[in-house]
Structure 1
Amino acid sequence: MAAAAEPRYQHRATAADGYNYKSQPSPSSAFQILAVVTLFPVGAVLLFLSGLTLAGTLIGLALTTPLFIVFSPILVPAALALAAAVAGILTSGAFGLMALSSVSWLLNYLRQMRRSLPEQLEQARWRVQDAAEHVGQKAREVVHETQDVIRPSA
C-alpha cells in the first residue's frame, strides 16, 4: 500500500480563489452525456416498438381465439399427430446415428485387432516355446533325480 495516497477528490479552483478558469467537463462526464443523449432515443423507440408488438399480439389473439375454439376438434388432433410425427422422426434419426456410430466403432475395433493379431500370435508362440522349454528342463531335472535315486539303491 502506498504511504501517501492522493485524495480521491481534489479542490477545483474557482473565481473566489482568485483564478478565472472556465469550468470544462471531464472526459468521462462528456462520454456519459453523449451516451445518454444517444441511448435515450434508441431506448424510447425500442420501448414504443415493444408496446406496438404487445398490442398487435393481443389484437391477433382476440381475433383468432374464436377460430381456435371452433376448429379445436380438428386442430388438437392435428397438433398431436404432428408432434408424434416429429418425435418419431427425431427418434429415428437418433437411433440411426447411434447405429452408425456403433458400426463405426466396431469396424475400428476389428481393424485394430487385425493389426495387432500378428503381434499377439507372435507373443503367444514365444510363450508356448518358453513353456515347452521350461517343461523340457523340468522333465530333464526329474529324470536326473530319478536316475540318482535309482542308481544308489541298485
Structure 2
Amino acid sequence: MAEHQQRPGFMPEKGPSTSQVLAVITLFPVGGILLVLSGLTLAGTLIGLTVATPLFVIFSPVLVPAALVLALAVTGFLTSGAFGITALSSLSWIVNYFRKGHVTEQMEHARRRVQEGAGQLGMKAKEAGHGIQGKAQETTRT
C-alpha cells in the first residue's frame, strides 16, 4: 500500500495550511481576551447586584409603584399608537375604496332597492288607506 494514498475515514497525512495556522494564532488570543472580559463583566454585575440589593429593599415602596406607573405609561403610549395606526390604515382603505369606484355600484344597487321598497310601502299604504276608508264608510252607513 502506498504511503501517499488516503485511507477513507482518516485525515489526510499532510499538515494544516499556512492560512489555517495563522487563523488559529490570531483567533486564539482574541477568544481568550473576550473570555476574560466576559468573566470581568459577570463579576462586576454580581458585585453591583450585591451592593444594590439593600437599596432595592429599602426603596421598594417607592420603586415598585414607580415601575408600575412607568410600565402603564409605556403600555398606554404603545396602545395609543397602535389604535392611531389602525385608524389611519382604515381611513386609507376607505378612501382607496371610494376612489376605485366600488361604492358607486353598491350605491346604485342600494338606491334601486330603496326605491323598490318605497314603492311597495306606498302600495301597502294605499291598500291600507282604501281598507280604512271602506270601513269608515261602512260605519257611517250603519
- The two structures share one fold, judged by TM-score above 0.5: yes
| Counterpart Cα distance in 1 of 2:64 and 2:33 | 39
The TM-score normalised by the length of structure 2 is 0.62
Aligned-pair RMSD on alpha carbons? Answer: 2.5
Aligned match of 2:96: 108
The C-alpha deviation readout for 1:35-77, integer Å capped at 9, x for no partner, is: 1110110011001100110111011001100000000010001
Question: Partner residue of 2:27?
Answer: 39
Which protein has the larger Cα radius of gyration, Structure 1 or Structure 2?
1
Match of 1:9 among 6, 11, 21: 6
Structure 2: any 5+ residue segments left out of the alignment? 8-13, 109-142
Q: Relative contact order (alpha carbons < 8 A, sep ≥ 6): 1 or 2 greater?
A: 2
TM-score w.r.t. the length of structure 1 is 0.57
Matching residue's letter, 2:95: L
**Structure 1 unaligned blocks of 5 or more:** 1-6, 11-24, 122-154
Share of identical aligned residues, percent?
61
CA-CA distance at 1:117 after TM superposition: 4.2
Secondary structure of the corresponding residue to residue 71 of structure 1: helix
- Give the number of aligned pairs: 98
